[in-house]
Amino acid sequence: MEFTRESLIELVRALLRRRGFNLSSENFTSVAYDIIASDNENIFIIKVLYNVDTLKQEVANELKLLSKIIKAKPLIIGVRCGIGILEDYILYSRYDVPVMSFKTFSNYIIRDELPIGFAAPGGFYVKIESKKLREARERNGISIGDLAKAANVSRRAIQLYEEGKSAVSIDVLIKIENYLNVNLIERIDPFGELPEPDEKFTLPENKIGRDTQEIFNRAGYRIYFTKKTNFDAVSNIMEDVLFIGFTRMREEALFKAKVIEEIAELTEKYGILLTDREGIEKTFPVINIKDLMNTDSETMKTIILEKKFRNF
């Protein structure tokens, strides 16, 4: 079945709704993600693309950054890559973000079924249960040399497989399994090991951002700035996560308040709005940045905690 990006987004949303996930509004998508979904156990941050090769590194980095901070699972769901249609049951990767076809994701969500292999230069590969391979070879009285000959690989390759130090191409796996009459595939956890984001993308670009960074850093809190989301920064304060929006106009404040409130509720985190313009805080629960400028860390925390997690 061939998809458009729009139809694929609808399919993903429908699948997640059926599985009991709470979803972000269709009106609050951003460049960095199309869907935020949460249930009692997982938070997914999902970007849907027709051609996954169109994913930009900066967008991938923000996906990884947000996922790290809020302990979510970043994911790209797509239809094709540069060399063709995405194969089902295979895990792909783009800038170290996991990539799947819709069917692969559907199997993961519905049946807890992990991908059987992964794409890498040269083709598709699988991980094998190294201990099981060695035990099967020894149980059948087969030497490393005989198995290498049957699989048309070197003795060193078989040794690496048994040590768990090398993945196996699918055609070699089939030869080994047929020769030993044993199943050896070790399925792949798409979210088992996620790389660190590059923090060079998280520098503030305007004065209110730079002032906020100085204030938070002085109080001992890390703050990460985003460019491809509908909020502007994320920080940790008192072991909680804050989604932060900068605003200067009433209409902008209303939009960002709704976005941040929704994301905070979905992820069970908190949100605040900051402004450098006088008066706007009289009609919205917004913190004027000047009120944080010369405060100590305890006063700053008090001001933020009074304004966080409001019903905007």
Residue 69 lies in a domain: yes
Chain-centre distance for alpha carbon 36:
10
**For residue 100, is it within any domain?**
yes
pLDDT at 198: 74
| pLDDT for the residue numbered 238 | 63
Residue 194 lies in a domain: no
Q: How far apart are CA 109 and CA 130, in angstroms?
A: 27
Same domain? For 9 and 111 the reply is yes
> pLDDT tens digit string along 136-161?
999 999 999 999 999 999 999 999 99
Dihedrals phi, psi of 193, to nearest 5 degrees: -135, 110
| Domain-located, residue 15 | yes
Q: What CATH number does the domain containing 68 carry?
A: 3.40.1350
**Within a domain: 312:** no
Band of pLDDT at residue 311, cut at 50, 70 and 90: very low
Final residue of a structural domain among 186, 211, 227: 186
- Cα–Cα distance between 297 and 312 in angstroms, integer? 25
| Residues in a beta bridge with 197 | none
Looking at residue 312, its pLDDT comes to 42
Same domain, 147 and 232: no
Q: What share of the chain is helix, strand, coil (3-state, %, to 5)?
A: 45, 25, 35
Distance of alpha carbon 308 from alpha carbon 237, whole angstroms: 11
Residue 281 has a pLDDT of 60
116, 132, 148: which is the final residue of a domain? 116
The CA distance from 36 to 214, in Å, is 30
Shared domain check, 78 and 47: yes
- Give mean pLDDT, residues 160-170: 94
Token pair in block for residue 301:
């925390």
Verify that 63 and 25 share a domain, yes or no: yes
Rounded CA gap, 12 and 21, in Å? 11
Sign of the Cα pseudo-torsion (226, 230, 235, 241, in order): negative
Q: Which residue has the higher pLDDT, 157 or 255?
A: 157
How high is the mean pLDDT of the chain? 90
Shared-domain flag, residues 50 and 138 = no
Give the H/E segment covering residue 62.
helix 57-70
Is residue 133 located within the same domain as residue 157? Answer: yes
Boundary residue ending a domain (61, 96, 116)? 116
Radius of gyration, alpha carbons of the chain? 24
Q: Are residues 142 and 243 in the same domain?
A: no
Query: Which two structure tokens, joined as six digits, stand for 217?
Result: 């850093």
- Does 193 have pLDDT greater than 90? no
Do residues 91 and 167 both lie within one domain? Answer: no
Instruction: Give just the sign of the alpha carbon dihedral 98, 59, 258, 244.
Output: positive
Q: What is the CATH number of the domain that holds 133?
A: 1.10.260.40
The CATH number of the domain holding residue 240 is 3.40.1350.10
Q: In whole angstroms, give the CA distance from residue 45 to residue 77.
A: 11
DSSP annotation of 113: P
Distance between CA atoms of residues 270 and 159, nearest Å: 51
* Together in a domain, 112 and 10: yes
What does residue 288 show for φ and ψ, rounded to 5 degrees? -75, 130
Number of domains in the chain: 3
Q: Verify that 139 and 176 share a domain, yes or no.
A: yes
8 Å CB contact between 215 and 296 = no
**pLDDT of the residue at 162:** 95
Domain span at residue 243?
199-307
Contact indicator for 231, 246 with CB cutoff of 8 Å: no
Structure token digits, residue 156: 């060193």
Tokens coding 151: 């699989």
Q: Highest mean pLDDT: which of 123-127, 254-258, 291-295?
A: 123-127
What are the tens digits of pLDDT across the range 224-234? Answer: 999 899 999 99
In a domain, 138, yes or no: yes
Check whether residue 151 and residue 130 sit in a common domain: yes
Residues 6+ apart with CB under 8 A from 214: none
Give every CB contact of residue 102 below 8 A, 6+ residues apart in sequence: 3, 8, 11, 12, 77, 79
What DSSP string describes 34-47?
SEEEE-SS-EEEEE
> What local confidence, expressed as pLDDT, does residue 280 receive?
64
166 and 65 both lie in a single domain: no
CB 293 within 8 A of CB 211: yes
What are the pLDDT digits (tens) for 12-66?
Answer: 999 999 999 999 999 888 899 999 999 999 999 999 999 999 999 999 999 998 9
pTM for the predicted model, two decimal places: 0.89
In a domain? residue 191: no
